[in-house]
Amino acid sequence: MTRRKTVAPIAWALVLAHISALAAHGGQEAVGELRIEGQGIEQLILTGPGDQTITFEPPGATATLPPGDYVVHGIRLEGGHSSQTYMIPDDLRVTVSSNAPATLKIGAPLRQAVQVERRGSMLILDYELMGQGGERYGIARSLTGPQPAFTVYRGDRKVASGEFEFG
């Protein structure tokens, strides 16, 4: 009988501690907020703790995630432009915490860059489309649509023009 009297208060204390912990956390797992600063994003794929993959189609301005470190795995923009893992900088990561919102800058506004290299009588134009997080996007091209074109000017005078060949 004495043993029952000693175990009962300990068990009751454990039950009260568990109920207090559930009340403090709302009975749910801790979560954090991710703010997504970018426009035109149709799909965002993140890889998180334990190689967990989370897909948002489309992501809103904020997302709720379990706390942890996340890596941007893939992005698809309106118009079909996409960024795959090898096109995303290694440092484009975000740490989500239950204490404060985290911010991820990706997508539009986009920046276009062209590098020109001369090879004999040819000009090689290397085009990149980059998001605000430094991610590069592949151009969605249609086989039935017009080829991208370019025009070269020297001052106000048109020097050359043509269509791009992919490859």
Instruction: Tell me if 67 sits within 8 A of 100, measured CB to CB.
Output: no
Unique residue bearing structure tokens 């801790």: 30
Position 79, amino acid: G
Alpha helices in 25-113 (DSSP H): none
pLDDT digit string, tens, across residues 32-52: 999 999 999 999 999 999 889
Instruction: Tell me if 112 sits within 8 A of 129, measured CB to CB.
Output: yes
pLDDT digit string, tens, across residues 7-19: 444 444 443 344 4
How many helices (H) and strands (E) the chain has is answered by 1, 13
Q: pTM value?
A: 0.70
Phi, psi of 105, deg, nearest 5: -105, 110
Give, for 111, the enclosing helix (H) or strand (E): strand 111-119
pLDDT digit string, tens, across residues 98-141: 999 999 999 999 999 989 899 998 878 888 999 999 999 997 76
**Separation between Cα atoms, residue 128 and residue 111, nearest integer Å:** 8
Residue ranges of the domains in the chain?
28-105, 111-163
Is there a cis peptide before residue 109, judged by omega within 30 degrees of 0?
A: yes
Specify the pLDDT at position 14: 41
Name the pLDDT band for 167 (thresholds 50, 70, 90).
low
Instruction: Tell me if 96 sits within 8 A of 71, measured CB to CB.
Output: no
Could you tell me which of 74, 82, 71, 66 has the C-alpha nearest to residue 29? 66
